[in-house]
Amino acid sequence: MSVAVIIVNYNSGALLDRCLQSLLAQTFCADELVVVDNASTDAESQSILDAITTATVIKSETNLGYGGAINLAVRKIDSPDYIVCLNPDAFPEPDWLEALVNAADSHPDYGSFASLMLREDDTSVVDGAGDELHFTGIPWRRFHQRKLHDNLQTEPVFSACAGAALYRTVLFNQLGGFDDGYFMYVEDIDLGFRLQLAGYPCLFVRDAIVHHIGSAVTGEGSDFSVYFGHRNLVYCYFKNMPLLLLLTTLPFHVLANLVTLIVLAVKGRGGAIGKAKLDALKKLPSAIRARNNVSRKVSSRDIWKLLNKSLMR
Residues 76 and 142 in one domain: yes
Q: Which domain holds residue 249?
A: 223-306
Query: How far is it between the farthest Cα atoms of the chain?
Result: 54
**pLDDT > 90: percent of the chain:** 89
Q: Is residue 76 part of a domain?
A: yes
Ranges 43-57, 114-128, 241-255: which has the least confidence:
43-57
Average pLDDT over residues 142-164: 96
Residues 34 and 107 in one domain: yes
Task: Output the pLDDT for position 259.
Answer: 96
**pLDDT > 70: percent of the chain:** 97
Residues 261 and 207 in one domain: no
Average pLDDT over residues 32-45: 93
CA 131 to each of CA 134, 188, 203: distance values in angstroms, whole numbers, following the listed order: 10, 9, 11
Q: Is residue 93 part of a domain?
A: yes
Residues 228 and 206 in one domain: no
Q: Is residue 313 part of a domain?
A: no
Average pLDDT over residues 61-79: 95
Residues 160 and 179 in one domain: yes
Residues 140 and 258 in one domain: no
CA 102 to each of CA 110, 154, 157, 158, 205: distance values in angstroms, whole numbers, following the listed order: 12, 12, 18, 20, 10
Residues 185 and 237 in one domain: no
pTM for the structure as a whole: 0.95
What average pLDDT does the structure give for the chain?
A: 95
Residues 166 and 53 in one domain: yes
Residues 199 and 53 in one domain: yes
Residue 218 has pLDDT above 60, yes or no: no
The domain boundary, picked from 179, 212, 245, lies at: 212
Q: Is residue 311 part of a domain?
A: no
CA 313/CA 308 separation, integer angstroms: 9
Residues 7 and 57 in one domain: yes
- The pLDDT tens digits of the residues spanning 256-291 come to 999 999 999 999 999 999 999 999 999 999 999 999
The domain boundary, picked from 172, 190, 212, lies at: 212
Residues 155 and 243 in one domain: no
Classified as helix, coil or strand, 270 is: helix
Residue 128 sits in a domain whose CATH number is 3.90.550.10
* Residue 198 backbone phi and psi in degrees, to 5: -80, -5
The domain boundary, picked from 186, 212, 238, lies at: 212
Q: Is residue 189 part of a domain?
A: yes
Number of domains in the chain: 2
Task: Output the pLDDT for position 23.
Answer: 95
Residues 158 and 243 in one domain: no
Q: Is residue 312 part of a domain?
A: no
